[in-house]
């Protein structure tokens, strides 16, 4: 069993200190509840101030160190998407995973950038997928918009992953899309989907969208498509639940979806 917490939170754009202080309370509470892993939303330390993020992306070492310190202090794994850079000074939207020893054990730079809201104009894309052998099993890392690209999740399933962690910043009016997509990714790959979304609003005037409102509904969907836990649409909340990670292999051993694929017929390129 894995005790896991999801920190559904409203992110203050550009206010790293405020966001870290809020997160520290969530981490402490998750540890008190016995969680081994806590998941935060997409861009949870800075938000999406695209032009501002270009200026500050190379100064994120202190923020990353602060999150690592939280993980070590409370002996808990921490997952979430954060502002980082690609080594050449360009911002990246990076899913960072810290171990309970405070080590950065994995980094996945978002490969599908949300061109609909101009993320691709300001953020450098990643160029590889990232799976992790955690103490409780193999996990895949994704970020938000990736949920619309089933190939990523099938790739992780074929790598042997039994869950995917997905930090999100999904706004209205696409709640129905999110609810269908996260369940579909779980069912078709017989894996747990862990999606942690923001609530509250954020201003996107710089790219012509004005104020957007995130709809929450952070959730865990099991490999059979059952909702294990789900938050509401507006409240900041820390969800905590035990999941039976072995359920993924149990279902795969009974219903051989991955083995029954007809790869001789698919045209994917």
- Across 8-26, average pLDDT: 96
245 within domain boundaries? yes
Q: Model-level pTM?
A: 0.95
pLDDT of 85 above 90: yes
The rounded distance, in Å, linking the Cα atoms of 21 and 213 is 22
60 within domain boundaries? yes
261 within domain boundaries? no
The rounded distance, in Å, linking the Cα atoms of 72 and 90 is 29
266 within domain boundaries? no
222 within domain boundaries? yes
Task: pLDDT band for 240, please (50, 70, 90 cuts).
Answer: very high
Residue for token pair 């609530």: 199
- Across 103-112, average pLDDT: 97
C-beta contacts of 31-36 below 8 A and 24+ residues apart? 31/74, 31/75, 31/76, 33/3, 33/5, 33/240, 34/3, 35/3, 35/4, 35/5, 35/76, 35/240, 36/2, 36/3, 36/4, 36/76, 36/77, 36/100, 36/135, 36/136
The rounded distance, in Å, linking the Cα atoms of 186 and 196 is 15
Q: Could you read off the pLDDT of 113-140 as tens digits, one per residue? A: 999 988 999 999 999 999 999 999 999 9
Q: Cα torsion for 29, 84, 110, 125, to the nearest 10°?
A: 170
pLDDT of 8 above 90: yes
Q: Could you read off the pLDDT of 153-171 as tens digits, one per residue? A: 999 999 999 999 999 999 9
Report the pLDDT value the prediction gives residue 119, as an integer from 0 to 100: 93
Q: Return the higher-pLDDT residue of 58 and 151.
A: 151
Q: Could you read off the pLDDT of 33-49 as tens digits, one per residue? A: 999 999 999 999 999 98
223 within domain boundaries? yes
Give bridge partners of residue 230 from the DSSP assignment: 219
Q: Which residues constitute the domain of residue 185?
A: 2-254
Report the pLDDT value the prediction gives residue 38, as an integer from 0 to 100: 98
Number of folded domains that form the chain: 1
Residue for token pair 């938050």: 231
pLDDT of 269 above 80: no
The CATH number given to whatever domain includes residue 207 is 3.60.110.10
160 within domain boundaries? yes
96 within domain boundaries? yes
């Amino acid at each position: 069993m894995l005790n896991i917490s999801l920190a559904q939170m409203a992110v203050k754009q550009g206010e790293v200190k405020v966001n870290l202080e809020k997160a520290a309370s969530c981490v402490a509470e998750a540890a008190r509840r016995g969680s081994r892993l806590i998941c935060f939303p997409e861009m949870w330390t800075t938000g999406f101030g695209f032009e501002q993020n270009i200026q500050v992306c190379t100064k994120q070492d202190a923020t990353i160190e602060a999150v690592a310190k939280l993980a070590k202090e409370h002996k808990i794994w921490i997952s979430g998407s954060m502002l980082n850079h690609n080594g050449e000074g360009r911002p990246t939207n990076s899913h960072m995973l810290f171990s309970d020893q405070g080590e950065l054990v994995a980094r996945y730079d978002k490969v599908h950038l949300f061109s609909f809201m101009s993320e691709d104009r300001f953020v450098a894309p990643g160029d590889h997928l990232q799976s992790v052998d955690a103490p409780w099993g193999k996990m895949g890392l994704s970020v938000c918009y990736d949920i619309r690209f089933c190939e990523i999740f099938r790739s992780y399933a074929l790598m042997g992953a039994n869950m995917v962690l997905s930090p999100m910043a999904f706004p209205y009016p696409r709640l129905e899309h999110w609810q269908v997509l996260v369940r579909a990714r779980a069912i078709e790959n017989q894996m747990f989907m862990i999606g942690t979304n923001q609530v509250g609003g954020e201003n996107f005037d710089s790219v012509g969208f004005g104020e957007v409102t995130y709809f929450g509904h952070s959730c865990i969907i099991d490999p059979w498509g059952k909702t294990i836990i789900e938050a509401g649409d507006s409240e900041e909340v820390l969800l905590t639940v035990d999941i039976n990670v072995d359920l993924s292999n149990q279902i795969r051993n009974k219903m051989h979806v991955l083995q029954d694929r007809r790869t001789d017929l698919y045209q994917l390129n």
